[in-house]
Amino acid sequence: MIYLDNSATTKPYDAVIKAFTDVSRQFFGNPSSLHVMGGEAEKLLTKAREQIAHLAAVTPGEIYFTSGGSEGNNLAIKGTAMMYRDRGNHIITTSVEHPSVKESCEQLRELGYQVTYIPVNKDGFIHPDDIAHHITDQTILVSVIHVNNEVGMIQPIAQIGKLLKQFPKVLYHVDHVQGAAKVPLDLYESNIDICTFSAHKFHGLKGNGFVFIRDGVRIAPLLSGGNQENGMRSGTENTAGIVAMAKAYRMAEEKRKREMEKLWQIRAYLFNEFQKMPDLLVNTPEEKAAPHIINVSCVGLKGEVVVHALSEEGMIVSTTSACSSKDKTPSGTLKAMGVSDSIANGAIRISLSYENTMDEAVQMVAALEKVLVRLTKVMRRNG
């Protein structure tokens, strides 16, 4: 099997799994306990926080551990809404966000908040000026995804952050889940207040993530209890998972520095080969897109049918976001880009990691060509 669904989840590095099992066996004490075993666990947490902060180029006090990207996005959006409900009730986001952002905003809308969804152009990009145009004296938050999880376009995060400096009462949240260890993002330079990360997107373990909350920024916690994470996220910390996440982040960053050019070469090969196929439309923009995501539509076919057919050929890909792939409705991202239902229904996503090779890409192209020929013949015969 050739695994090409890395935007859904990545395979944990062997060293990451070993770190998790070692810590689970040897340092299983509760970090909040006063005894020596609790102290040992707490030291590991502190060290992991320092390592992650160093990799993200921020301070350790700005890192808060979570269970992953969905919790982080919920914390950022709902925590801001709860903290500043007396200041305003208006949130601005985009039409191409991850479901955890969209659904958080919709829940708040049901509670009386106003939500503005900024539209995108045909390539999936927003314009910073469109955000500025919609800011009012009731606006408390702007939330923008960095790298789109379905199509791969990179939003102008730094430009938006520069614009938002004119509105100091508006917090700026960025969903960096798909960009971490693949598309660098300077959190300070981009004027980001809150930023979301998830370990299993960079070869860590599921159930771990972290949120950057800039020093001086206050939001309300969603989980109350023992006041862990400086009161921001109560609940006994997953020490082993957090240590494993720090290791995964370090290893993924090292691979990014060493192997990014290889990833771009594989992406360029796939992009060029896909453009040659008559029954394929490439939805991912060629410029200003991430190196690891390519979204294509198989004309006249259903995406899920193509996914299953490719699986039989040993190729593991997906349709849309793993969080919504079982939903039979067309991709909301592609619809926002103006893609028709029939084309959106035929979409599949190929997503790479540094573990993929050019030989695997060549095999992927051959398998897709074979599948398209076979399925198109069946469709025409039955049509």
Within the chain, residue ranges assigned H as helices are 14-26, 36-56, 69-83, 99-110, 128-134, 157-164, 239-276, 303-312, 332-336, 341-344, 358-382
| Model pLDDT for residues 69-100, shown as the tens digit of each residue | 999 999 999 999 999 999 999 999 999 999 99
What average pLDDT does the chain have?
94
SS3 63: strand
- Give the integer Cα–Cα distance in Å for 59 and 46: 12
Tell me the pTM: 0.95
pLDDT at 139: 98
Query: Does residue 35 carry a pLDDT above 80?
Result: yes
Outline which parts of the chain fall under CATH 3.40.640.10: 14-250
298 assigned to active site: no
- Relative to beta strand 139-145, strand 90-94 is parallel
| Model pLDDT for residues 164-195, shown as the tens digit of each residue | 999 999 999 999 999 999 999 999 999 999 99
Q: What is the mean pLDDT of residues 2-23?
A: 98
| Model pLDDT for residues 268-303, shown as the tens digit of each residue | 999 999 999 998 999 999 999 999 999 999 999 999
Q: Which contacts qualify for 215-219: CB closer than 8 Å, 24 or more apart?
A: 215/59, 215/61, 215/62, 217/171, 217/193, 218/83, 219/75, 219/76, 219/79, 219/80, 219/82, 219/83, 219/171, 219/194
Is residue 321 very low, low, confident or very high in pLDDT (cuts 50, 70, 90)? low
Query: Does residue 328 carry a pLDDT above 70?
Result: no
| Model pLDDT for residues 247-266, shown as the tens digit of each residue | 999 999 999 999 999 999 99
Q: What is the CATH number of domain 14-250?
A: 3.40.640.10
- Give the integer Cα–Cα distance in Å for 365 and 91: 42
Looking up tokens 């294509």, which residue turns up? 296
Q: And the tokens for 181? A: 């260890």
- Give the integer Cα–Cα distance in Å for 95 and 207: 27
From residue 338, alpha-carbon distances to 18, 60, 129 in Å are 46, 42, 20
Is residue 376 very low, low, confident or very high in pLDDT (cuts 50, 70, 90)? confident
Q: What is the DSSP letter of 318?
A: B
Looking up tokens 């349709």, which residue turns up? 319
pLDDT at 33: 79
pLDDT at 131: 98
Outline which parts of the chain fall under CATH 3.90.1150.10: 2-8+258-382
pLDDT at 39: 83
Q: What is the CATH number of domain 2-8+258-382?
A: 3.90.1150.10
| Model pLDDT for residues 185-243, shown as the tens digit of each residue | 999 999 999 999 999 999 999 999 999 999 999 999 988 888 888 888 888 889 999 99
> Of residues 105, 195, 298, 323, which has the active-site annotation?
323
- How many other C-beta atoms can be found within 10 angstroms of the C-beta atom of residue 132? 15
Q: And the tokens for 338? A: 């103006």
Distance of CA 314 to the CA centre of its chain: 26
